[in-house]
């Protein structure tokens, strides 16, 4: 069975500082990995994905994530945080085929950027 | 932001009521999804439709009944719900039912069962 772990329920960072939101996964075969963000009273918005190719993936709003196969991680990063980045972030994983066709979401990390 | 719309945004219903949630996507996608989001829990996939055909039902109780009349519209019919069914119900769509395609979500319907 595939799974996703977001080990931190809450991450606080000062505006202008770099931010990291952690994600580790478990899946059979090569993973498809996604990050989504949810602002209050809104649905999830797609940020970026890793399917294949370059391990460093760049996405919306200046976010990027690095796929690390040996550590089974896909951490979300941004060089300089903005107060407007405060939101709930979800990591998700799927396997490429068979019974792992569903997207499995983590439980989310609440990011708060302090002014 | 207006790619996937959901109505109503908030719904309070008693355990004996019947209500329906509506989702519409304006993205030309062929796959649509219903998810349940409860506090502090991962999103739970409920149903998947691909080209109007239901392809997945993740052991959802029969008090939830989906309907997909065309590729743009998705409904979730609710009847005799339980208080534990209170949650945010999210609709999503993707170009096709493929896990390498990102999904686009609506704003959700906040359901409270009293």
- Chain A residue at shortest CA distance from B41: A107
SS (H, E, C) chain B: CCCEEEECCEEEECCCCEEEEEEEECCCCCEEEEEEECCCCCCEEEEEEECCEEEEECCCCCCEEEEEEECCEEEEEEECCCHHHCEEEEEEEECCCCCCCCCEECCCEEEEEC
Whether residue B99 and residue A106 make contact (CB cut-off 8 A), yes or no, is: no
Q: Which residues of B are less than 8 Å from A46 in CB distance?
A: 102-104
Q: Using one digit for the tens of pLDDT, what is the confidence trace for A61-113?
A: 999 999 999 999 999 999 999 999 999 999 999 876 554 467 899 999 999 99
What pLDDT, on a 0 to 100 scale, did the predictor assign at position B100? Answer: 82
Residue that is written with structure tokens 């940020």 in the block: A47
pLDDT of B33 higher than 50: yes
Whether residue A96 and residue B56 make contact (CB cut-off 8 A), yes or no, is: no
Distance CA B50, CA B32 (A): 7
What pLDDT, on a 0 to 100 scale, did the predictor assign at position B72? Answer: 94
Chain A, residues 8-27, CB within 8 A of chain B, namely: 9
For residues A46 and A36, is the Cβ–Cβ distance under 8 A? yes
Tell me whether A105 touches chain B (CB under 8 Å): yes
Give the distance from residue B31's alpha carbon to the nearest chain A alpha carbon, in angstroms.
13
How confident is the model over B87-110, as a mean pLDDT? 91
Average predicted confidence (pLDDT) for chain B: 91
Q: Which residues of A are less than 8 Å from B4 in CB distance?
A: 43
Tell me whether A51 touches chain B (CB under 8 Å): yes
How confident is the model over B53-61, as a mean pLDDT? 82
Write out the two tokens for B58. Answer: 């993740």
pLDDT of B1 higher than 70: no
What pLDDT, on a 0 to 100 scale, did the predictor assign at position A29? Answer: 84
- Among A43, A46, A106, beta carbon nearest to B90: A43
How confident is the model over B56-84, as a mean pLDDT? 92
Distance CA B41, CA A93 (A): 16
- Percentage, residues of chain B above pLDDT 70: 99
């Amino acid at each position: 069975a595939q799974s996703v772990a977001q080990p931190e329920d809450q991450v606080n960072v000062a505006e202008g500082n770099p931010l990291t939101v952690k994600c580790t996964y478990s899946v059979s075969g090569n993973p498809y990995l996604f990050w989504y963000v949810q602002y209050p009273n809104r649905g999830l918005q797609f940020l970026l994905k890793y399917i294949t190719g370059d391990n460093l993936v760049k996405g919306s709003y200046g976010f990027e994530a690095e796929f690390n196969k040996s550590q089974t991680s896909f951490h979300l990063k941004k060089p300089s945080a903005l107060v407007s980045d405060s939101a709930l972030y979800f990591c998700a994983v799927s396997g490429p085929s068979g019974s792992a066709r569903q997207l499995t979401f983590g439980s989310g990390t609440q990011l708060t950027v302090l002014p | 932001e207006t790619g996937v719309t959901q109505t109503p945004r908030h719904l309070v219903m008693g355990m004996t009521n019947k209500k329906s949630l509506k989702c519409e996507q304006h993205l030309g996608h062929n796959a649509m999804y219903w998810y349940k989001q409860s506090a502090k829990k991962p999103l739970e996939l409920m149903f998947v439709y691909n080209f109007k055909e239901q392809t997945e039902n993740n052991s959802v109780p029969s008090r939830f009944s989906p309907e997909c009349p065309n590729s743009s519209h998705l409904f979730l019919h609710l009847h005799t719900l339980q208080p534990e069914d209170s949650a945010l119900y999210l609709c999503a769509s993707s170009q096709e039912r493929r896990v390498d395609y990102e999904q686009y979500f609506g704003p959700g319907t906040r359901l409270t069962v009293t």
